[in-house]
Amino acid sequence: MIRTLAKKEDYRLGNPLKIMLFFVFSVFINLPQVYAQRDPIDVYLIIDGSASLASVKNEVNAWISVRLDQILTDGDRVTVWSAGPQSKVIYTGKIDGAPGKDAVKKSINDLVPSGNKPDFSGALSDAASRRNSSYSYTLLISASPAALTSVLLSPQANLLRFSRIEEFPDWRALVVGLNLDAKVKKSATAFFSQ
């Protein structure tokens, strides 16, 4: 009888642990489905189109391919710029399954680097002027050592104010928070007026 009670107490103590493990397991299993159910966003990719990209193009393409698979979902609107001597849109479209993602990746893979100076200012200005949804994700890839200097010295420098940089040996990826000024000011005003 004592043994039976001990087993029942062990069982009762084990239930919360089993329930918690089941909950954690079910959350991780369903996480991709929850992530995929978000509202469509605008995704802006600005790729260094200068000759500096040529030596790292394969590495950049592989990294972007993985990143796109992580962030893109059906309904997202994607615009890709080649920031060569003059920035130009090389792809625009809506993601509708794997073929949509493949089309974006192909446009980046087909980019032919040329010139010495990438036009990031033009691409950033164009991206900032586009507003199809309430949220956008802007990724800028720079392979030129001094390419961002021209942006920082231009009137578009404020567009890089809210950025996160990920450094690689011969290139960098910037996640740029475009059009955040008004949202930051609104949030700060709301916070301080309480």
Domain borders along the chain are: 1-37, 42-184
> 35 pLDDT exceeds 60?
no
Whether residue 133 contacts residue 39, with contact meaning beta carbons closer than 8 Å, is answered with yes
Tokens of 27: 């959350």
pLDDT, residue 34, reads 47
What mean pLDDT do residues 100-115 have? 94
Which is higher by pLDDT, 62 or 154?
Answer: 62
Give the pairing type, strands 87-94 and 42-48. Answer: unpaired
> 134 pLDDT exceeds 50?
yes
pLDDT, residue 161, reads 63
pLDDT, residue 3, reads 52
Which is higher by pLDDT, 103 or 125?
Answer: 103
Q: Where residue 174 falls among pLDDT bands split at 50, 70, 90? A: confident
Whether residue 54 contacts residue 113, with contact meaning beta carbons closer than 8 Å, is answered with yes
> 31 pLDDT exceeds 70?
no
Q: How many CB atoms lie within 10 A of CB 93?
A: 14
Q: Where residue 135 falls among pLDDT bands split at 50, 70, 90? A: confident
Q: Which CATH number fits domain 42-184: 3.20.20.70, 3.40.50.1000, 3.40.50.300, 3.40.50.410?
A: 3.40.50.410
Residue 106 is inside which H or E element, if any? helix 98-109
pLDDT, residue 175, reads 85
Q: In whole angstroms, what separates CA 183 from the centre of its chain? A: 19
Give residue 82's identity as a one-letter amino acid code: S
Average pLDDT of the residues of the chain? 78
> 51 pLDDT exceeds 70?
yes
The answer to whether the predicted template modeling score (pTM) of the entire model surpasses 0.75 is no
Which is higher by pLDDT, 163 or 74?
Answer: 74
Euclidean distance between CA atoms 84 and 49, whole angstroms:
4
> 17 pLDDT exceeds 70?
no
Most confident of 22-36, 55-69, 120-134: 55-69
Whether residue 43 contacts residue 15, with contact meaning beta carbons closer than 8 Å, is answered with no
Give the pairing type, strands 172-176 and 77-83. Answer: unpaired
Q: What are phi and psi of 121, to 5 degrees?
A: -60, -45
Specify the DSSP class assigned to residue 7.
Answer: H
Q: Where residue 30 falls among pLDDT bands split at 50, 70, 90? A: low
Three-state DSSP class for 188?
helix
The angle that helices 57-71 and 98-109 make with each other, rounded to 10 degrees, is: 160
